[in-house]
Amino acid sequence: MRARVLIRPKAGILDPQGQTVERALPALGFEGVSHVHVGRLVELDVEDPSQLDSMCEQLLTNPLIEDYEIQLPEHEPSAA
């Protein structure tokens, strides 16, 4: 089964990449953009999706500063 894990900085955590993008967009002529956050997407094929939370907490994310959301094709997203 193909799973997607969306990873983003937790609220209140400094996001220098997001800040850089937010400052660059007006310079390129894109106005009215704010609160930009940059995260990452991990796609993986798994036989047992019940292991995804453990994978995220042990390797894929830093639980101190990042939140994640697991997306499975036939299930609703689950957030942590």
The tokens describing 25, both together, are: 């967009």
Residue 74 in this model has a pLDDT that exceeds 80: no
Among 35, 43, 1, 40, which Cα is nearest to 18's? 35
Overall size of the chain counted in residues: 80
Q: What CATH number does residue 74 fall under?
A: 3.30.1280.10
**Could you report the per-residue pLDDT of 8-64, keeping only the tens digit for each?**
999 999 999 999 999 999 999 999 999 999 999 999 999 999 999 999 999 999 999
Count of the separate structural domains present in the chain: 1
pLDDT band at 76 (very low <50, low <70, confident <90, very high): low
- What domain range includes position 9? 2-79
User: What is the rounded distance in angstroms from the CA atom of residue 53 to the CA atom of residue 79?
Assistant: 10
Q: What is the pLDDT of residue 6?
A: 97
pLDDT band at 73 (very low <50, low <70, confident <90, very high): confident
In sequence order, the β-bridge partners of residue 79 are 69
Q: Give the torsion through C-alpha atoms of 75, 80, 6, 40, to 10 deg.
A: -170
